[in-house]
Amino acid sequence: MKATEVDKFAVNPGEITFSLPIRVYYQDTDAGGVVYHSTYLDFMERARYEWLRQLGFDIHSLIQLHKVIFMVRSLNIEYLKPALLDDLLHVTAEAVEIGSCRIAISQQVRRGSATLVNATVQAVCVGADSLKPVRVPAPLRHKFGKRS
């Protein structure tokens, strides 16, 4: 089986920061080859999804086993430099704070050593059926070094 870009994500042993390589395609850009501002949100969503998967929590297990989903409650984003057509970006995700029913996630979009975008995402854990806030599952809290 051929590896895809998603199969090549990087997690540094002993560190919580996750990095997903993403190539900028034509569909991600405007006529000038510059990435649309909203496309960065898609890139960051993919990184969070793959990060949870790397931690052992794919979307199906969160819903079926733990009966929860995560929803973005708020987002603070700062655009520093533009990404361009065919750039290879690295999109990071790192839990910086975990509360009883929320997780603050720091994310960056980088091209080489240059930071293009900084963001902080506040995600709330909600019941899969009720969509009301619930406690972050203990196994996930444990992955972040936080005790129930």
Query: CATH number, domain at 46?
Result: 3.10.129.10
Domains contained in the chain, number: 1
For 105, the domain range is 5-143
DSSP 61-127: HHHHTS-EEEEEEEEEEEE-S--BTT-EEEEEEEEEEE-SSEEEEEEEEEETTEEEEEEEEEEEEEE
In a domain, 92, yes or no: yes
Instruction: Report the catalytic residues.
Output: 30
- Say whether pTM exceeds 0.75: yes
In a domain, 148, yes or no: no
Q: What is the pLDDT of residues 35-58, one digit of tens each?
A: 999 999 999 999 999 999 999 998
> Is residue 77 within 8 Å of 117, Cβ to Cβ?
yes
In a domain, 76, yes or no: yes
In a domain, 80, yes or no: yes
In a domain, 75, yes or no: yes
Please tell me the predicted confidence (pLDDT) of residue 142: 85
Strand 10-11 versus strand 102-111 pairing type: unpaired
